[in-house]
Chains A and B, each alone.
Chain A
Amino acid sequence: MTKMLTQFIEQENCHTLDFYLKNGGYNQAKRAILEMSADEIIEIAKQSNLRGRGGAGFPAGMKWSFIPRDIDKPKYLISNADEGEPGTFKDRVLLSKNPHQMFDGMIIAAKAIDCHLAFVYIRGEFKKEAEILENAIAEAKEKNILGKRIFGSDFDFDIVVHRGAGAYICGEETALIESIEGKRGQPRIKPPFPAIEGYLQCPTVVNNVETFAALPPIFENGAQWFVDLGVENSAGTKLFSISGHVKNPGVFEVPMGTPLHDLIYNDEFCGGMKDDIPLKSVIPGGSSSPILTAKEIDGLTMDYDAIQKAGSMLGSGAVIVMNETTDMVQVCYNLARFYAHESCGQCTPCREGTAWLIKILKRFTSGGARQEDIELLLDITDNIGGLVDFSQGSFGKTICPFGEAVSWPVRALVEKFLPEFEKRVQEK
């Protein structure tokens, strides 16, 4: 099976520049800098149908094309290594085992938008990974791959590693930009979008680590090769981080459109359910994606369209598997608590709503739940997130899609596992 991101991660010293160069590394960055125009680069990215791997799935080439050309401001590029969405632990593999491939992709993107300074915004807890990146940058600078006049061209390009400090919301791109600017991580009202006014009010592109890492193989093998790896509307391979009640949790790189059943049960992936206890439910795309029941994942393939059709989303590719013994009321409380803790506090529906959710859910987990509390929970989720299409961006009641990110999963849990909530009412 074709792998293009993780084929070498078991090998010794795979994170070093020497190793990367021996395997053809930076050939594409060099080609982009020395031989290609911005338009050519954007065109290949568009044709490849590479969609952002951070959660929203926005086409990368299209995002770059929004960067204004004829303006006298610096342009900035940011790799989003915040890896905050619960269930997601894929970027850490790339950062620690294959950092140069991300830089390789960042150089290609930098040429496309004429950017000379980029950031990697890495979550503060990943201190070791940040050090690996710093070392990798130093290695690349020595070889004239980063720094002044890279590859002997007249193009300067530097990358700065910027550590976050423990805030999930800083994964949201405008909060992330605020955070680099030295402020609280509070999302901005859009428009203006970062492509017009991002970091320091300058045009800025934010892409996920995996999105950048996908670029060198696309440029090496061609856009069509990448399209052919996947299925309709979902090109390429994708990293899936699978956790929960499976035998072997882990990060697996597979083509888009791979059956979820294979990922959970095949020995080359998770090897089946832990202790052979049957499956009850799956969160398919990170904690913000609505949960699916065992019946709903029957025949499900892992690509944007199929998961959306099933009523959820591919998100960051973070699959959380739960077995029959799992208490879904507790799951609901756990997730709501996460969101209440992480709400940036800017928008009233989200700040107050998440606090109410945990207060009420506490009655379900610890006693005292009333019948009308079920309706109340659903009301609150409507109040925070509204019923909007998450895949289309944030049109809800809050400045950023965090509102939907909490409403959707809570609503899905209550609706799909209603008897478990009702049972708690009777138990009081």
Chain B
Amino acid sequence: MSFFTEENQKRAENIFSQYPDKRSCALPLLHLAQSQEGYLSNETIEKVAEMCEIEPSEMMDTASFYTMFFRKPMGKYRIQVCQTLSCSLAGADKVVDHFAKKLKIQPGETTKDGKFSLLKVECLGSCGTGPVVQLNDDYIEGKTIEELDRTIDDL
């Protein structure tokens, strides 16, 4: 039996139907599993490995390589601040410092109530609208610290 919900199990089957081999479904299934569970526990990774018919260690090897796969629970809201050159030229460093102070956490940490995680990330592919912040999946582009604050305060 799959650990996926019924709806996600259907999605998984649809994924398998698109690829010529099972292991190629690793990334799509890890994304799906993470969207369901919030992060990828050892157990989750083992389940996905089983579905792809590879060793758990092989799936672990894959999952651990990619920064978008979280190996521990994350805050409900992930504030991901791009720190690469164009965004840095547009003042991204100040944005990180601001949120670290505001939320009283260091980059990489999650607030005690589990609401926010602050992450420094590398170029998000939107360098013309820096500073770029990705709030969970959504891009917030070219906003001042005050505007960003308002968005975060409303959550």
Interface centre among A83, A125, A158, A341 (most CB of B within 10 A): A125
Which of chain A's residues 342-377 have a Cβ closer than 8 Å to chain B?
Answer: 342, 344
| Complex contact B122–A341 (CB within 8 A) | yes
CA distance in complex: A89, B139 (Å): 13
Chain B interface size, under 10 / 10 to 19 / 20 to 34 / 35 or more: 35 or more
Name the one of A127, A241, A330 contacting B127, with C-beta atoms under 8 angstroms. A241
- 1/0 per residue, CB under 8 A from B, across A78-100: the answer is 00000111111101100000000
Residue of B nearest to A331 (CB): B85
Inside 8 A of B134's CB, which chain A residues have their CB? 125
Contact A182/B54 with A167-B67, A320-B85 known, Cβ cut-off 8 Å: yes
Inside 8 A of A200's CB, which chain B residues have their CB? 20-21, 24
Name the one of A162, A182, A249 contacting B128, with C-beta atoms under 8 angstroms. A249
CA distance in complex: A266, B141 (Å): 24
Contact A334/B52 with A158-B18, A166-B67 known, Cβ cut-off 8 Å: no
Contact A342/B122 with A160-B19, A185-B65 known, Cβ cut-off 8 Å: yes
Contact A287/B85 with A166-B66, A182-B26, A184-B65 known, Cβ cut-off 8 Å: yes
Name the one of B19, B30, B84, B124 contacting A165, with C-beta atoms under 8 angstroms. B30
| Complex contact B69–A165 (CB within 8 A) | yes
Name the one of A74, A245, A250 contacting B89, with C-beta atoms under 8 angstroms. A245
Inside 8 A of B86's CB, which chain A residues have their CB? 86-87, 243-244, 320
Residue of B nearest to A241 (CB): B128
CA distance in complex: A48, B84 (Å): 36
Chain A interface size, under 10 / 10 to 19 / 20 to 34 / 35 or more: 35 or more
| Complex contact B66–A338 (CB within 8 A) | no
| Complex contact B129–A249 (CB within 8 A) | yes
Inside 8 A of A168's CB, which chain B residues have their CB? 122-123
- 1/0 per residue, CB under 8 A from A, across B82-102: the answer is 011110110000000000000
Asked whether any CB of chain B lies closer than 8 Å to the CB of A420, the reply is: no
| Complex contact A338–B125 (CB within 8 A) | no
Which of chain A's residues 104-139 have a Cβ closer than 8 Å to chain B?
Answer: 117, 123-128
Asked whether any CB of chain A lies closer than 8 Å to the CB of B31, the reply is: yes
Which of chain A's residues 49-68 have a Cβ closer than 8 Å to chain B?
Answer: none
Min CB distance A415 to B, Å, is: 18
CA distance in complex: A125, B82 (Å): 12
Asked whether any CB of chain B lies closer than 8 Å to the CB of A181, the reply is: yes
- 1/0 per residue, CB under 8 A from B, across A272-309: the answer is 00000000000100010000000000000000000000
Inside 8 A of B47's CB, which chain A residues have their CB? none
Residue of A nearest to B22 (CB): A182
| Complex contact A338–B68 (CB within 8 A) | no
Asked whether any CB of chain A lies closer than 8 Å to the CB of B61, the reply is: yes
Interface centre among B20, B31, B89, B128 (most CB of A within 10 A): B128
Name the one of B24, B31, B83, B125 contacting A182, with C-beta atoms under 8 angstroms. B24
Inside 8 A of A164's CB, which chain B residues have their CB? 27, 66, 68
| Complex contact A163–B27 (CB within 8 A) | yes
Min CB distance B144 to A, Å, is: 15
Inside 8 A of B62's CB, which chain A residues have their CB? 182-184
Beyond the given A86-B85, A89-B126, A124-B66, please list 17 additional residue pairs across the A-B interface where CB-CB is below 8 A.
A86-B86, A87-B86, A88-B127, A89-B128, A92-B126, A124-B31, A125-B68, A164-B68, A165-B30, A165-B66, A166-B66, A180-B24, A182-B24, A183-B62, A241-B127, A245-B89, A249-B127
Q: Can you spell out 29 A-B residue pairs with CB atoms less than 8 angstroms apart?
A: A85-B123, A86-B84, A86-B86, A87-B85, A87-B86, A88-B127, A89-B126, A92-B126, A123-B125, A124-B68, A126-B125, A127-B137, A166-B67, A166-B69, A167-B67, A168-B122, A180-B27, A181-B23, A182-B27, A183-B61, A184-B61, A200-B20, A200-B21, A241-B127, A243-B128, A243-B130, A287-B85, A320-B86, A326-B89
B interface with A by C-beta (< 8 Å): 18-21, 23-28, 30-31, 52, 54, 61-62, 65-69, 83-86, 88-89, 121-130, 134, 137-139
Closest 8 CB pairs of A and B: A182-B26, A165-B66, A166-B68, A249-B128, A166-B67, A243-B86, A184-B65, A182-B23
